[in-house]
Structure 1
Amino acid sequence: MPYYLGIDTSNYTTSAAIFDSQTGQVIHRKKLLPVAKGSLGLKQSDAVFAHVKQLPQILEELFFDLPPVSLAAVGVSARPRNQEDSYMPCFLTGKLAASAICSVNRIPMYEFSHQCGHIAAALYSAGRLDLVGQEFIAFHFSGGTTECVHVRPGNETVFDTEIIYHSLDLKCGQAIDRVGGMLGLSFPAGKELDALSLNADKRFPVKTTFKDGNCCVSGLQNQCEKLLKQGESKENIARFCIDSVCKIVWQMADNARTQYPGLPLIFSGGVMSNTLINQKISEDFGGFFAEPQFSADNAAGTSILAAVRDGVKVG
């Protein structure tokens, strides 16, 4: 039975995916959670309710596009990170659905962190599933996470992750969404801010703050607010925001390369799908980036991790 179902119910997106371990292909479906115009996200209770409404639809769409399949196991994102105190209620929705599916079909359910799902999806998209079971450095930059982690082989978690560097305050994805909201963009703002920044006709000097390798991001929002009050164009403010985030990524990558020379660099999370960031970091460091659809929240990685836990060699 080569098919593995993955479910991910983050604070941004309802996602489900099927991994065909025989062909190595992933089919996935996802839908952003509805956010009122002008809002910068959802309360956990609202996110849970949205997933309850959207997950059945996503699963129906996923299986409708497939011939009848027999599932071998289900993987589900049950927590944000590989830490005992890591918890978000929205992941309970996916866990409930996964548990029900596994009980009816009498198949295993494997729990993973949302972060590990991101890493696995990035490896799949970049054609580097051969790194499963190896040591590498992974960057996870999203609305809820700004982290550089050292990845080693794990047992039940598949990836054993240790945070090397992180944000001491605001996350880079949060800063992008807040600046986007300031400019009248919809949430999440990454895609629209990316498009705006490409039309900028002015650049501003960027100054970042790091303490022991960890970044401080909160000042970025204040700097963008100042530019807006000074009458600067939306395009130029967007470019300054992206340039600032890019410099943070660049510094973290440089620090990681110095501390762990020779290890592959993997970039995941919605922030990493930005055109300018992707281009600059790729030119200076190489590394491997997920395509945008596998960089933003998705369940592809979780379906692949389920196969690995079930003893399937994926790389």
Structure 2
Amino acid sequence: MWILGIDTSCDDTGVGLVRDGVVVVNLVAGQVALHQVFGGVVPELASREHLKALPILVKEALAQAGIAPKDLSLIAATRGPGLIGALLVGYTFAKGFAWALGRPFYAIHHLEAHIAAAWPEGLDPPFLALVASGGHTHLFEVQALGRYRLLGATRDDAAGEAFDKVARLLGLGFPGGPEIECLAQEAKEKVPFPVPLREQKGYDFSFSGLKTKAVQLVEAGYPAPALAKGFQEAAVEHLAQVVLRAAKDTGHRVLLVAGGVAANRALQARFQEAGLTVHFPPKGLSQDNGAMVALAAWRRHQAGFSPSPLSLGATAYWPLEEA
């Protein structure tokens, strides 16, 4: 069974092909150079780039797999959440493709797709899942495929968004996560940052205070590598403390970490030393991509979920608990 997955939820155009649950092709056209001058994603520009890139990527993905459109068994695309203009490009394209081929269509939740990218075959729920990216920082209890309980979320900035903003303060490029990680490795010492919400009993996240502290320290003239190292360590420790508190309270010992921030090596090391069984996405599946959408559709199809009606529209806001 061949599944085509498409993701245009933000600024990456993702097209992936999965065959019987295995990723065969994963193509992503990024827009870093386009948005870098603005220090963040400009929605209208992102949508226009998706329109240009998507047909080319789909054609290339099919060519790399050595198949024709008629060989596809079903089509899937991200329905939401995300930038509505960007979402509509990929979602409408996928629905039209499915209609033209007479194939089933699956509308996929963006966060479920991220979770699917880190979910290894043979792992049965329940377990914890942390999704940390430029647009999301959510901690879920995965009770079953399609059954998610939100334990905590960010009160302000997402983790990846905070990395982007602090990187911009330090004069670094976009996206900020890899830039800060690289700069932090140059530091011989660090500037201490306070770990947010240390005394809370719940599972919320907050990164605006770290951003404010970074502004103060930049204005005070501290060296950029030491600032990058201090910020990264505080952000990673904050994520770890919340997740470990939830693991202790719920009794879960298995954790999936997904989203772009999951590629951060300091975060990976912190969770791997925490005593949990931790799963991260394979290389290339942390950032937004189409293969994770196809993987989510594969799981839903295998579990007996019905295809989505073509009349179902895209949505910028869609809680995962309602997916």
State the TM-score, normalized to the length of structure 2.
Answer: 0.86
- Conserved 8 A contact 1:4-1:20: yes
- Conserved 8 A contact 1:135-1:263: no
Tell me, in whole angstroms, the C-alpha distance in 2 between the residues paired with 1:88 and 1:259: 37
SS in 2 for 1:150: strand
1:233 aligns with 2:223: yes
Specify the alignment match of 2:74 in structure 1. Answer: 73
SS in 2 for 1:10: coil
Specify the alignment match of 1:221 in structure 2. Answer: 211
Taking a change above 3 Å as real, the CA distance of residues 292 and 285 of structure 1, as seen in their structure-2 partners, is farther
Tell me, in whole angstroms, the C-alpha distance in 2 between the residues paired with 1:135 and 1:88: 32
Specify the alignment match of 1:114 in structure 2. Answer: 110
1:179 aligns with 2:166: yes
Matched residue pairs, number? 297
Specify the alignment match of 2:319 in structure 1. Answer: none
Taking a change above 3 Å as real, the CA distance of residues 10 and 285 of structure 1, as seen in their structure-2 partners, is farther
Unaligned 5+ residue runs, structure 1? 81-85
- Conserved 8 A contact 1:253-1:285: no
Tell me, in whole angstroms, the C-alpha distance in 2 between the residues paired with 1:171 and 1:3: 34
1:199 aligns with 2:200: no
Specify the alignment match of 1:303 in structure 2. Answer: 294
Specify the alignment match of 2:151 in structure 1. Answer: 164
- Displacement of 1:263 after TM fit? 4.2
Per-residue CA deviation, residues 142-172 of structure 1 (Å, 9 max, x unaligned), is 111111011122xxxx432221011111111
Counting only pairs closer than 5 Å after superposition, residues 54-93 of structure 1 correspond to structure 2 as 54-69=53-68, 70-80=71-81, 88-93=84-89
- Conserved 8 A contact 1:6-1:16: yes
State the TM-score, normalized to the length of structure 1.
Answer: 0.88
- Conserved 8 A contact 1:196-1:238: yes
- Conserved 8 A contact 1:148-1:165: yes
1:100 aligns with 2:96: yes
SS in 2 for 1:216: coil
Moved more, 290-299 or 109-118: 290-299
- Displacement of 1:79 after TM fit? 0.6
- Conserved 8 A contact 1:38-1:181: no
Moved more, 245-254 or 158-167: 158-167
Specify the alignment match of 2:27 in structure 1. Answer: 29
Unaligned 5+ residue runs, structure 2? 305-323
State the identity as a percent: 24
Runs of 4+ in 1 over 4 A off after TM superposition: none
Per-residue CA deviation, residues 20-43 of structure 1 (Å, 9 max, x unaligned), is 107x34321001124343323223
Tell me, in whole angstroms, the C-alpha distance in 2 between the residues paired with 1:205 and 1:263: 30
Give the RMSD, CA atoms, in angstroms: 2.0
- Displacement of 1:7 after TM fit? 0.5
Q: 2:140 aligns with which of 120, 144, 149?
A: 149
Per-residue CA deviation, residues 28-86 of structure 1 (Å, 9 max, x unaligned), is 10011243433232232222222111111221221221212400001111012xxxxx8
Letter in 2 for 1:173: G
Tell me, in whole angstroms, the C-alpha distance in 1 between the residues paired with 2:83 and 2:287: 20
Tell me, in whole angstroms, the C-alpha distance in 2 between the residues paired with 1:57 and 1:308: 27
- Displacement of 1:87 after TM fit? 7.1
